[in-house]
């Protein structure tokens, strides 16, 4: 996630890129959005969702601009190195750059030094042809303090991600398998409120069942942290298919219930006390900036990439609104659960047992495939943060210490709390705020300064953000820091009332 320069990978069309981005953004955060909508009120939620969607789109264009600037700098450095080599070497080979380019074709031309490329006349120096991850961009454009702050922010975000995943799976399993009445398949999601101390099976309390599931989850998936894993294409297709089946099912079932006059929801317009969690959930649900290099670089035609991203955000905004509004009008506020899928495990909503179990256990399948990948990403970021040029880690530190400091903290957090709405809200409000607003704004500002220094003030980045005026960068920074203060003050005031 915060690595260095890697191969572009297999190219795909802009519309395939649109689908990939949609799948990336619409994830676990969407399942906690209906509860956040109900808590904050439908009008406040809609306004905040639209505004945060706009802000996320703006910072996405900042990251794309920084990616183009990073590609230009890499070409320029290769050009300078080529000049030095040409001065030192004897020009006796007799083979010109243009001859080589004609033989190798356009694809090889993209990886040639910029001097060779410009002799042929393409591509543009700011063309995004190499995947430069956010960590590498931070190293290129930030000073040492900025780089450390970047890694600190992304590590905290990944810890929050893992804590959410570690809690979501045991919560889903507990809710589906535990019942005070003994009929587990029909009592979940019927509006009955259970305490953690209520019985699950015999003498086992619900909180005990949750922790047993958490221990099993940790024992089964934790060992993957000690190895290298990656998400295969087929696994991605499978999880995406399951996710879309689940989301479409929930929307259709809620609409059917509303059309039959069985809707129970009477949402309020505004409840300011719910804004804190709603803010964090929305930020978390629009998160994609950290994965943009992997998504944008393989797109074959990037001329209208910003318009493509805008279309994606409009579609996602419409989807989130549809999912949340059908939820808050279908179910009473006090019956909406942190994990929205669990509202559909009631016999009155779905008569088919297979569908009830599919929706109830849906987070278990999808999250379980993502947990090892996020854990390995976090472990690698820890290694990068402490890495020194030319140094290597002892075997114990590399294979034992780093995986353990990756795995233990999120599991401890999940052991202490399974309040998913708060976990998502806090992760989004703090670390998510930094990744989605502050880091992209600083990347845009620093990359523009570096571009002017290296190429001159007359050079124009072909992927320059539509929000090119410095005002927008200042606005995003003020907004980001203000959100930090607002959320912190809200937490302090809430705790003082208790």
- Residue 372 maps to a domain: yes
Quick one: which of 422, 481, 482 has its CA closest to 276? 422
**Nearest-5° angle of CA 382, CA 387, CA 392?**
115
Percentage of the chain beyond pLDDT 90 is 32
Q: At what angle do helices 305-330 and 42-88 cross, to 10 degrees?
A: 150
- Residue 42 maps to a domain: yes
The CATH number of residue 140's host domain is 1.20.1740.10
- Residue 112 maps to a domain: no
Residue 485 CA, distance from chain mean position: 23
Query: For the segment 392-423, what is each residue's pLDDT rounded down to a tens digit?
Result: 888 899 889 999 999 999 999 999 988 887 88
Provide the residue range defining the domain that includes 238. 14-79+128-182+194-496
Token pair 């705790």 is found at 495
Query: For residue 390, is it left (φ>0), alpha (ψ between -120 and 50) or beta?
Result: left
Domain count, the chain: 1
Quick one: which of 274, 296, 305, 284 has its CA closest to 437? 284
- Residue 4 maps to a domain: no
- Residue 89 maps to a domain: no
Cis peptide before 495 (omega within 30 of 0): no
- Residue 93 maps to a domain: no
- Residue 85 maps to a domain: no
pLDDT in single tens digits along all 498 residues of the chain: 444 444 455 788 888 888 888 887 887 788 889 999 999 999 999 999 999 999 999 999 999 999 999 999 998 888 888 887 777 765 555 555 544 443 443 343 344 444 333 444 445 789 888 888 888 899 899 999 999 899 999 999 889 889 988 998 998 888 888 854 444 446 555 555 677 778 888 788 889 999 999 999 999 989 988 887 655 567 767 777 888 899 999 999 999 999 988 888 888 888 888 888 888 889 888 988 888 888 888 888 888 888 989 999 999 999 999 999 999 999 988 888 888 988 888 777 788 888 888 888 888 888 887 888 888 888 888 888 887 766 788 889 988 999 999 999 999 999 998 888 788 878 888 888 899 999 999 999 999 999 998 888 778 888 999 999 999 999 999 999 998 888 888 777 766 655
Could you tell me the pTM of the whole model?
A: 0.80
- Residue 26 maps to a domain: yes
């Amino acid at each position: 996630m915060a690595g260095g320069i890697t191969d572009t990978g297999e190219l795909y069309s802009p519309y395939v890129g649109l689908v990939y981005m949609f799948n990336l953004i619409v994830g676990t955060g969407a399942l906690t959005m209906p509860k956040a909508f109900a808590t904050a009120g439908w009008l406040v939620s809609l306004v905040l969702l639209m505004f945060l969607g706009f802000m996320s789109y703006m910072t996405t264009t900042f990251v794309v601009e920084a990616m183009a600037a990073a590609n230009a700098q890499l070409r320029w450095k290769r050009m300078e190195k080529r000049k030095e080599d040409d001065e030192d070497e004897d020009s006796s080979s007799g083979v010109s750059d243009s001859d080589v380019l004609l033989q190798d074709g356009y694809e090889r031309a993209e990886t040639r030094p910029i001097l060779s490329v410009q002799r042929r006349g393409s591509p543009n120096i700011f063309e995004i042809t190499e995947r430069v991850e956010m960590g590498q961009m931070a190293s290129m454009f930030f000073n040492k303090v900025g780089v450390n702050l970047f890694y600190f922010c992304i590590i905290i975000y990944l810890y929050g991600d893992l804590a959410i995943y570690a809690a979501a799976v045991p919560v889903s399993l507990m809710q589906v398998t535990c019942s005070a009445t003994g009929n587990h398949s029909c009592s979940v999601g019927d509006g009955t409120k259970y305490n953690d101390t209520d019985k699950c099976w015999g003498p086992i309390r619900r909180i005990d069942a949750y922790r047993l599931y958490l221990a099993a989850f940790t024992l089964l998936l934790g060992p993957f942290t000690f190895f290298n894993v990656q998400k295969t294409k087929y696994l991605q297709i499978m999880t995406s298919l399951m996710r879309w089946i689940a989301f479409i099912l929930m929307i259709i079932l809620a609409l059917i219930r509303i059309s039959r006059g069985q809707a129970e929801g009477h949402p309020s317009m505004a409840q300011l006390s719910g804004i804190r969690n709603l803010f964090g959930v929305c930020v978390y649900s629009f998160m994609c900036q950290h994965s943009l290099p992997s998504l944008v670089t393989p797109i074959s035609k990037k001329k209208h990439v910003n318009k493509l991203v805008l279309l994606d955000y409009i579609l996602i905004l419409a989807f989130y609104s549809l999912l949340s509004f059908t939820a808050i009008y279908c179910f009473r506020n006090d019956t909406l659960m942190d994990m929205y899928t669990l509202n559909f495990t009631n016999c009155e909503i779905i008569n088919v047992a297979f569908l009830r179990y599919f929706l109830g256990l849906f987070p278990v399948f999808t999250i379980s495939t993502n947990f090892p990948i996020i854990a390995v990403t976090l472990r690698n970021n820890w290694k990068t943060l402490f890495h020194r040029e030319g140094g290597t880690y002892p075997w114990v530190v590399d294979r034992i210490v780093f995986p353990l400091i990756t795995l233990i903290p999120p599991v401890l957090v999940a052991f202490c709390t399974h309040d998913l709405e708060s976990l998502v809200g806090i992760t989004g409000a703090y670390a998510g705020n930094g990744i989605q607003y502050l880091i992209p704004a600083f990347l845009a500002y620093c990359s523009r300064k570096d571009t002017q220094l290296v190429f001159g003030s007359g050079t124009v980045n072909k992927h320059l953000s539509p929000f090119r005026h410095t005002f927008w960068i200042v606005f995003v920074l003020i907004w980001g820091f203000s959100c930090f203060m607002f959320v912190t003050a809200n937490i302090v005031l809430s705790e003082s009332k208790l």
